[in-house]
Amino acid sequence: MRETAPMIHGLSLHYYTVDWANKGSATGFTEKEWFKVLKKTLFMDELIKRHATIMDKYDPNRRVGLMVDEWGTWYDVEPGTNPGFLYQQNSLRDALVAGINLNIFNQHCGRVRMANIAQTINVLQAVVSDGRWQDGADAHLPRLRDVQSAPGRHAAAF
């Protein structure tokens, strides 16, 4: 950061709430596993604090943002699905993980400038589609290109 801070806009951070050795089921979990996931989720706060401390040393004006560009849960794929597609069903536990993370990002908004949940359609913790969008059945849903950009910002479009 010492050398690059003047040349970059953001520093990337990825963190998944997962035990890589035993990811477990997205829906068939014990109470102990429920709380283990929530505890791992809370670690995001410590990660951001540690990164911010180092960044503050080299970028005290906070010009460079911390970009949490991949975060969320990651479990074993659902039985009977293609393992390469990483499909997992969501539960209330995943909603709590998302809410906790969004609250943490908000608490650190002075440094966190971007936070993207990873894999947003039919993968990992995601919006689950029944496939009708491929036939145009979701034409009533807003698209990113339809969102007005805030003053001084550029809206992305696809």
pLDDT in tens, 108-142: 999 999 998 876 655 666 666 555 555 555 454 44
Unique residue bearing structure tokens 């989720």: 41
Question: Which residue type occupies 47?
Answer: L
**Residue 153 half-sphere exposure toward CB, CA atoms < 13 A:** 8
Residue with tokens 């949490």: 68
Confidence of residue 147 (pLDDT cuts 50, 70, 90): very low
pLDDT recorded at residue 121: 58
Which residue has tokens 């809370």? 42
